[in-house]
Amino acid sequence: MLLFTPNIRSGLFQVPATGGAPVAVTTVDLSKHSTHRWPQFLPDGDHFIYLATSHAGSKEFSGIYLGALSGSGAQGRLLVRADANALFASGYLLFMRKTDLLAQRFDTRSMEVQGDPVRLADKTLNDQGIWRGVFTASNNGYIVYATGANSADEGQLTWFDTTGKVLGMVGERGSNSPRISPDGHKVALEFGEPIPEVWIFNFASGLRTRLTNGGADSAPVWSRDGKNIVYFSIPGNSSKARLAVRAADGTGSETLLFQEDQWETPTDWSPDGKYILYDHGDPGATDIFVMPVSADQKPFPFVQTPAWERGGVFSPDGHWVAYASRESGRDEVYVAPFPGPGPRWQVSSKGAGTPRWRRDGKAIYAINGDDVLEFPISSSNGSIQTGESKVLFRTTIGETLLFTAGYDVSPDGRFLINSLGTSRTGSRPLTLLVNWTAGLNP
């Protein structure tokens, strides 16, 4: 029997290894979770463990749960709180909290954990984009795990110039999705555990002020006049995402824009203030839609294909939109006229994503792995011309579960980056633990 999840917002299904009709074996409690994943059968062949967590960023109910094929799709039972996948090996449950790899004895007769968890390793690589720790274990006493920073929660907002020189740091670790105000004096960001909220950081005073409260709020975007901020919001005890707008000074209450039964993650606000670009659909499978700010208009698609498109941003004059598409099999940056229709132009050819326009509109910045790239660009007679790209500098940039950019560019051309501090390029160190159960209490 095989266990699998058909999409990123689903419970688990079983299907015979020889083929057949899938049957649900878990049911997602939408008041707590949005996804079940990373199942592993236990020795009896009926029970299994799996991770249940939420795309909203809330970790309050994130954990390893126990299910059973004989449970007929019932909701599972919480075993331990965890931030990534788990494995059962050598009589122990191996799981992760942040970057700590923990072990806790597990009785397969009572199906209960016993004693307290013991930390086996810290700084274990944890890919929070998919909630998977990079570790494995055998039943004869071996564990192998990778180390390194990969979580946006570990990053530090850092100023860089165009050569990669560090100019200073901003706020506390764990701040992410920075969007600098049009006047360059403030930055909107997401911060907080277990539920993220939108905050405003004033560069001059060093003060951070909370803008939102009461739900999972992230991906803030400024209006071009600097008076309002749109953000992604999931109210408490809800699984529905929506776009909400609030005054940047915190006055008044939030205003909900047109609500759809889809995830809505804002990416930019047009210079004339009339339109908001947003990623439409489940994270990892989005199209780019346009939300008119006027209440009498409905959203409409801007780029909608079978491929994954995301991260649309307006040019300074509002006539063009740069975005990332994975139609070639990897992220590349494209430019298309707004509001369309019209031809599009491919800007990158060796991989690039999360574009940002330079203030004068004559270049697009983008990210490819650790590389911060610059693409010269110009427009004439309704067409786009691109020049030879160059690598400005290298660093590491933390992404969120919603794949929002972990960086922004200030009006004066500096980069504000959620830097993880160490390069992701090259090989990762692997550590082998031998006979690891010997030092644990029986």
- The secondary structure of 220-256 as a DSSP string is EEE-TTSSEEEEEEEETT----EEEEEETT--S--EE
In 345-370, which positions are buried (b, 16+ CB within 10 angstroms) versus exposed (e)?
A: bebbeebbbbbbbbeeeebbbbbbeb
* Topology at the third CATH level for domain 2-147+426-439: Neuraminidase (2.120.10)
Q: How far apart are CA 29 and CA 88, in angstroms?
A: 24
**pLDDT, position 396:** 82
2-147+426-439 shares its CATH topology with 152-419: yes
pLDDT band, very low/low/confident/very high, at 402 (cuts 50, 70, 90): low
What gap in Å lies between CA 85 and CA 108, rounded to an integer?
18
Residue 441: the pLDDT is 65
Query: What mean pLDDT value characterizes the chain?
Result: 88
pTM for the structure as a whole:
0.78
Task: Give the separation between CA 404 and CA 417, rounded to whole angstroms.
Answer: 12
Which two three-digit tokens encode residue 195?
Answer: 């539920």
Query: Could you tell me the residue ranges of all domains in the chain?
Result: 2-147+426-439, 152-419
Sheet holding 112-121, edge to edge: 87-89, 92-97, 100-107, 112-121
What is the CA angle 423-426-432, rounded to 5? 100
Most confident of 13-22, 72-81, 399-408: 13-22
Which residue in 187, 185, 161 sits closest to 176, CA to CA? 187
Q: For residue range 99-151, list pLDDT tens digits in order.
A: 899 999 999 999 999 999 999 998 888 877 788 999 999 999 999 999 876 55
d(CA 437, CA 139): 11
Among 8-22, 177-191, 210-224, 388-402, the minimum mean pLDDT is found in: 388-402
1-10, 142-151, 325-334, 410-419: which has the minimum mean pLDDT?
142-151
Report residue 369's pLDDT band, with 50, 70 and 90 as the boundaries.
Answer: confident
Distance from C-alpha of 160 to C-alpha of 374, rounded to nearest angstrom: 14
Q: What amino acid occupies position 300?
A: F
Strand order in the sheet with 208-210: 176-180, 186-191, 197-202, 208-210
191 — pLDDT class (breaks 50, 70, 90): confident
d(CA 113, CA 131) in angstroms, rounded, equals 22
CATH superfamily of 152-419: TolB, C-terminal domain (2.120.10.30)
Encoded tokens for 370 = 């650790």
pLDDT at 433 over 70: yes
The answer to whether 252 and 240 have CB atoms below 8 angstroms apart is no
